[in-house]
Structure 1
Amino acid sequence: MADDKKQNQNQKKINIELTEDMAQGTYSNLAIINHSVSEFVVDFVNIMPGTPKSKVKSRIILTPQHAKRLAKALADNVKRFENAHGVIKDYEKQPVPLNFGPTGQA
């Protein structure tokens, strides 16, 4: 009986691989979120001052159910972070314009 219980616990574990390249991560200071009836699309961008053009660094596509789970998980983690380290200041900045950066002169 103990073997059956141990076997069931082992079957519930998920083996997730994290490659060295992926472990480095990608910095993003802007997330653009769009959705349709069947999916949420989150584009992560790194915008640098003075740079006329920025590229999407990563795109994540989620089902609505997974998007809701992600939102709950983020909210829970922010709450735990603030309990441990204090309130995260929210600097309400103006939205970044699509033509961010210097404009060309003719």
Structure 2
Amino acid sequence: MADVPKPPDAPLQIQLDDEVANGQYVNMAMVNHTETEFTLDFIYVQPHQVRAKVRSRIILNPKHVKRLLLVMQESLASYEARFGPLGPSGEGPSMN
């Protein structure tokens, strides 16, 4: 049987609707995991309030978390090279 040439992969076309494009401001994140998935909750905490609202929940498999971590580290290094290093902030809720 002859090898059939594989057509080149088409580039992925990503759609971004208007509501998602506006984004969500968050100032806190919580990460939980099981053996098979990570759950990232992005939260907005208003000053002087005892309740906070989860604005977005993202569920990822561990391989995607690893890739996300690597790209975030690269992006942060690029940011700090351009704007200067960031120190840990003692203000606001902790990110855990």
TM value normalised by structure 2: 0.83
> Could you tell which deviates more after superposition, 87-96 or 61-70?
87-96
Q: What stretches of structure 1 move > 3 A for 4+ residues in a row?
A: 92-96
Alignment of 1:49 with 2:47, yes or no, is: yes
Q: 1:31 aligns with which of 29, 32, 50?
A: 29
Structure whose residues are more often strand by fraction: 2
| Runs (5+) with no aligned partner, structure 1 | 97-106
Name the count of aligned residue pairs: 89
Is the radius of gyration larger for structure 1 or structure 2?
A: 1
Identical aligned residues as a percent: 33
Query: Partner letter of residue 18 of structure 1?
Result: L
| Runs (5+) with no aligned partner, structure 2 | none
Q: Which SS does the other structure have where 1:78 is aligned? A: helix
Alignment of 1:59 with 2:57, yes or no, is: yes
Q: 1:21 aligns with which of 19, 22, 25?
A: 19
Q: Which residue of 1 aligns with 2:89?
A: 91
Structure whose residues are more often helix by fraction: 1
Inter-CA distance 94–29: structure 2 relative to 1 (3 Å threshold): closer
